[in-house]
Every structure is written in C-alpha cells, then in structure tokens.
Structure 1
Amino acid sequence: MKKATNTKSKAAKTSAVSSPKKAESKVSAPKVPSAIDTDLVEVLARLLGKTDLSEIEVEKGDLRIKVARTLVGASVAHAVHVPQPITAAPVQAAVPAASAPATKADAAHAGAVPSPMVGTAYRRPSPDAKAFVEVGSTVKAGEKILLIEAMKTFNEIVAPRAGTVTAILVEDGQPVEFGETLLVIE
C-alpha cells in the first residue's frame, strides 16, 4: 500500500506542475510557478542571505516576486544605545552646577577678569614652569596672566589693568566658558 500512496502523490505533484490549466480554472488559486520562476526565487533568497538587504522585489510581466526577511539584529542595536544617553546626562548636568556659584558671585566684582573665549585655561606656560600669577601677585596692565587654548591655539590673556591678584578662580587645565570669571584684580 505504501508504494501505491507514494505513486499517487508523485502523480498528483506531476499533474499539478505539468497541467497548469487545472490551477488556472480556479479563480482564487494563483498560477503554479514554472521551474524557471522557482529557480529565480532560490537565487533571490540566496542573494538576500549574502547581503544586508531586508527585501528584494522583482517584476517580470505579470509575475511579481518579493523575498523578504525580518531583521532581528536591528532591535537589539536600539536596546544597546538607549542606556548610554541616560548615564551621560547626569554627569554633564553635575559639572556646570559645581562651577556656576563661584562665577556668579565674582562676576559682579569690579576687578573680575572674564574669559574672552571658550577653551581650556592654563595658569602656567608649561607643566614644569611656575604660574604666571598667584594670589597676592602685583600685575601691570597688559601683563600676561593666563593662557587659553582654543582649537589647538594658545591665546594669551593679559591683565586689563594694574593691581593685585586677590582671587584665582580657575585651575590649571580647566575648561572655561565665554564670560566666565578667571581671576580678580583689585
């Protein structure tokens, strides 16, 4: 009996492929693809597997073939990127809060020297050299008091007037903002 069943199923498959008229007689059933169309689908599927494409669509006359896959890796990538901004935000918010009170209090002082640019402030010309000025130093108008590095260029900051340095509000190598008070000269 098994041989008869296998023969019938093979015959049914053969008749379905070799006689597309039966398939066309049904209104709801699509055309049975020919061997060439099946080969095309296999080629498209292999091409899809070898590339990063998510779908391939080909139209040839009345025949339209679309091969697609879902990308599982894309959803994993989004899950990895979500935590990073959350951890970065509190760190950035804490840094300006620490430097803001000293800047506001000393900015109103008549001898406050504001930063003319955004950059990194340096109190000494090189790491092994002594500082340009210290608290208690007497300076002349136009004397170099700091360096600010901006875009790989070192800019000299000079004393706007003569006097005594009463407060230095920046550390060596500290980032500074435009208008931030660097030091106070009385």
Structure 2
Amino acid sequence: MPKHDPIDSELVRELANLVTETGLSEIEVEKGDLRIRVVRRIEPVSVQVAAPVAAAPAVAAAPPAPGPGAAPERGKAHPGAVPSPMVGTAYLRPSPEAKAFVEVGARVEAGDKLLLIEAMKTFNEIVAPRAGTVAAIFVEDGQPVEYGEALLAID
C-alpha cells in the first residue's frame, strides 16, 4: 500500500484563499498521486432597486464609444445591471459557432445561464439573479471583464 504524506492543511488554506481572492470557482493541484481540489460555490448576484427609473429610452440608445478605462463604468448606472463576480474573459456563447445564451429582448428566469466567464482556464456560468427581460448587453464575446463591471441589464 503506497504511503501518502499527511495533507498539508496550510496548503489547503492557501488554495481556498486563492480561490476566494481571484474569484475562481475551483482550483486543483496534483503532486505525485496526491490530488487536492478546492471548490467554491458561486451564488448569483442580485441587484436591489430602491425606486423605479423612468428613463427607459436611455437603455435603447447606443452606448458611448468606450475610452481608456471606461469599460468598468459601462452600464453601472442601470438599475438592472448584472455585475461580473470576477475578473476574466466573457463569452456570450458556449462555442464560437453556437447561438448566444441570451440576446437583447430575451425573457429570462432566475437561474438561467446568461454567459460564461473564463478565469484561469475554468469556465464559470453567470446566471440570471432574477426573472425579467434582457434590456442591454454591455460586453462583447471574448472581451476581458473586471470584477463589478456591468455585464448586462435585466429589466
């Protein structure tokens, strides 16, 4: 019977902290025949609206051309904005030739897949925090996104 080194609890803590700090959903390390996998459950992010906003036509207007450093601000003022829970690359479709998960005007239910964010070769599903209609999509397929950046808006 092969003899294993005792599990390094400090390594497990470091991996758990790394997963939390980077926004990853999981990380796995392997050394010899010892494998440690740390998985974090990502909850959908919901946005609470304090008062209804009457300026709906502004959503239909084309977004301003992004300038340097403008991407994280895009869409933040929208009350139905769905923010990115992590840093990574946004993908609006499961593969380059596939149809997008959602489009502007699509009806979504809470928990429906909206897009993927790839971080460190792991694809993380971003799901609708509530039911509604997709009012705007603020990111493009393959675009890098920052933590808290508005991905899309659900009315």
Normalised TM-score (structure 1): 0.46
Higher relative contact order (CA 8 A, sep 6+): 2
Q: How many residues in Structure 1 have an aligned counterpart in Structure 2?
A: 90
The answer as to 2:132 corresponding to 1:163 is yes
The list of structure 1 runs, each at least 4 consecutive aligned residues, that deviate by more than 3 angstroms after superposition, is 96-99
The answer as to 2:97 corresponding to 1:97 is no
Normalised TM-score (structure 2): 0.55
Candidates 113, 117, 122, aligned match of 2:86:
117
Offset at 1:103?
4.3
Over the matched positions of the two proteins, sequence identity in percent amounts to: 76
Offset at 1:123?
0.1
How far apart in 1 are the matches of 2:142 and 2:113?
17
Partners of 2:90 and 2:144 within 8 A in 1: yes
Describe how 1:14-29 pairs up with structure 2 within 5 A.
Answer: none
How far apart in 1 are the matches of 2:109 and 2:119?
25
Candidates 102, 117, 141, aligned match of 1:148:
117
Distance 1:138 1:98, change over 3 A: farther
How far apart in 1 are the matches of 2:104 and 2:78?
16
How far apart in 2 are the matches of 1:99 and 1:121?
17
Structure 2: stretches of 5+ with no match in the other structure: 1-65
Distance 1:105 1:131, change over 3 A: closer
Structure 1: stretches of 5+ with no match in the other structure: 1-95
Partners of 2:104 and 2:137 within 8 A in 1: yes
